[in-house]
Chains A and B, each alone.
Chain A
Amino acid sequence: MAKTILIVDDSASLRQVVAIALKGAGYDVIEAGDGQEALGKLNGQKIHLIISDVNMPNMDGITFLKQVKQHPSYKFTPVIMLTTESQEAKKQEGQAAGAKAWVVKPFKPETMLAAVAKLILP
C-alpha cells in the first residue's frame, strides 16, 4: 500500500510540482494551503511524512510544526521544511521546533525524493 505524504504550501503551483515528483515515486499525496488547513487534515488518517513551507498566511510553517509535535497521533511523523529561506537562524528555529530536514527551494525532485526516502515512516 502506498505511503501518504501531506504537502503544506500556500503556492498551488509549488504543491503541484512537489506532488508530481512524489506521485511519480509511488506516494499518495494530500495537499493543504497553509498550517491551519493542514491541521484539519490531521484527522486520524495515517500520514507517513509531512513537507511544509515556512512562510504562509493564516498559520506559518514553524507554528504548524510545533502543533504537529504536540499532536498525540502525529508527534512522531517526520517533517521536512521546504522553503525559500536559507538563513541559519531560521534553520535553527525549524530544528528546535522538531523538523527533520530543511530543503531550500528551488529543489531538484531527486533531492526531495532522497530526503523523503530517508525520513519517511515505515
Chain B
Amino acid sequence: MNDTGKREAQHQVPGVLRWGPLSYGVAVAVLLVSLGGGGAAALTAAVAAVGVAAIGAWRLGAAYRHGLTACAAIPAAEPAPTCKDGDALAAVCEEVLPIWARQVETARVQTEDAVLALTARFAALVERLDKAVEASRAAAGDAEGGDAGVADLFAQSRAELTTVVEVLRQALISRNTMLERVRELAGHVGALRRMAEEVAKIASQTNLLALNASIEAARAGDAGRGFAVVAGEVRTLSEQSGHTGQHIAGQVDAIGSAMQAALESAERVAAEDAQSVQAAEQTIGTVLERLERLAEGLSNSTHMLRHESDGIRTEIADILVSLQFQDRVSQILTQATGTVTQMTEQIRAWRAAGHDEAVLDREALLNAMLHTYTTHEQRVNHGVAASDKQDQDEITFF
C-alpha cells in the first residue's frame, strides 16, 4: 500500500477504533482505582490504563493534524482529504477533546485520592507502631526521660529488700549483744550467792563467838552479868544475820533460776530468728533472681520490638518513596489536560474564523507545552531532552 492508500485507510478507520483506546483506557483507570481499594498495584495499573488512553489520543492527534492540514495549502500531487473532511474531524475533536480532558482529570483526581488514602494509612501505621514501641520501652524502663519501668522498679526493689534484710540482721546482732549482757548478769548471780553464803558463815561464827562470850560471862559471876546481856544480844543479832543470809541466798537462787530460764528462752528465739533471717534472705534472693530474669526478658523483647519496628519503618519509607510517583503522574496528566484544552480552544477558534489557517498556531502550542513541562520525562517525550538522565533523589545545596 502506498502513502496515499495508507492515508485513505486511516481516514476509513471507524471512529470507535480510533478513539476507542482512550475511552477504554480512562474507563479502565477509573474502574481500577475505584475497585483497587487504594492498592499500589491498582494505581500502577490505572496509570498504565491512562497510558493506553494517551496512545488513543496520539492516534487521534495524527488524524487531527492531517485533517486540519487538508484545509490549508496542500501540494497538488497529493489527493488529500477535502476541507469538508477536516471540518468534520475538527467538529468531532471539539466535542471529544473536552470529554477526554475531563476523563483524564477524573483519573488523576481519583489516583491522587487513592494515594492520599494510602499514605494516610501508612502514616497511621507508623504512628501506632511508634506508640507500641514507646509503651514497650516505658514498660521495660527504657524510655528516654519517661517513667520508671521494670528495670528501675527492679533496681529500686532490690535496694529496698536488701535494706530490709540488713535491718533484720542488725536486730539479730543487737539481740545477741543483749544475750551476752544477760549471761554476764547470770555470772553476777553466782557472786551474790557466794556473798550470801559468806554472810551466813559469818553469822554462824558470830553466834558461836556470842555463845563463848556468854559462857565466859557466866564464869565471871556477878561481874560478868552485864557482859552476858551483851553476849546474848550479839547472839540474837547473829541468828538474825544468819536468817537474812539464808533469805538472800534463797532470793538469789530464785533470780538465778528465772534468769537462766529467760536466757535459755532468749537463746532459742535468737537461733530461730537467725534461721528466719537466713530464710528471708534466701527467699528474697530467689524472688529477685526471678524478677531479674523477667526484666531481662522484657528488655530483650523491647530491643527486638524496636529492631523489628525500625525494619518496618524502613520498609514503609521505601513504599512512601514509591508512592511519590503520584506527584509526577499528576503533574504530567495536568499538563496533558491543559494542552488538550488549549487544542480544543484553537480548533473552536479555527472553525469560528472560517478555517483561517493563521488561527491554528502549531508552534505556539508546542512552545506553550515546552514551557509547562515540570519533569524530565515530559521533555524526553517531547524530544527536547536526552533519555539517559533520571530525576531521582538529587540534592543540590546552594
Contact = CB atoms under 8 A, between A and B. Distances in A.
Q: Do A and B bind each other?
A: yes
Interface of A: 9, 11-14, 16-17, 19-21, 23-24, 54-55, 83-86, 91, 94-95, 99-111, 115, 118
B34 interface: no
Interface in B55-96: none
Nearest to A53: B327
Given A101-B396, A104-B391, A11 B374 contact: no
B331 A104 contact: no
A16 B394 contact: no
**Chain A CB within 10 Å, residue with most, of B115, B123, B374, B395:** B395
Contacts, number: 105
B398 A20 contact: no
B320 A17 contact: yes
A104 B392 contact: yes
Interface string B102-129: 0000000000100110111011001000
B395 A106 contact: no
A109 B328 CA distance: 17
**Chain B CB within 10 Å, residue with most, of A54, A85, A91:** A85
Nearest to A92: B398
Contacts of B397: 100-101, 115, 118
A13 B114 CA distance: 9
Interface residues of B, number: 36
Nearest to A99: B398
A103 B327 contact: no
B111 to A, nearest CB: 9
A16 B374 contact: no
A83 B396 CA distance: 12
Interface string B382-398: 00000001011111111
B112 A106 contact: no
A83 B313 CA distance: 24
Given A14-B326, A54-B374, A106-B324, 17 more contacts: A12-B112, A12-B116, A16-B123, A20-B316, A20-B320, A23-B123, A24-B130, A86-B394, A100-B397, A101-B395, A101-B397, A102-B396, A104-B393, A107-B324, A109-B320, A115-B395, A115-B397
B281 to A, nearest CB: 46
Contacts of A17: 119, 320, 323-324
A24 B324 CA distance: 18
Contacts of A9: 327
A9 B322 CA distance: 18
Contact of A107 (B120, B321, B396): B321
B331 to A, nearest CB: 6
A98 to B, nearest CB: 9
Contact of A11 (B126, B330, B375, B389): B330
B201 interface: no
A34 to B, nearest CB: 14
Contact of B331 (A16, A84, A91): A84
**Chain B CB within 10 Å, residue with most, of A23, A94, A104:** A104
A106 B126 contact: no
A13 B393 contact: no
Contacts of A99: 398
Contact of B116 (A13, A84, A85): A13
A17 B351 CA distance: 47
Nearest to B120: A16
A19 B395 contact: no
A106 B325 contact: yes
A47 B138 CA distance: 31
A108 B321 contact: yes
A16 B116 contact: yes
Contacts of B391: 84, 86, 104-105
Nearest to B385: A87
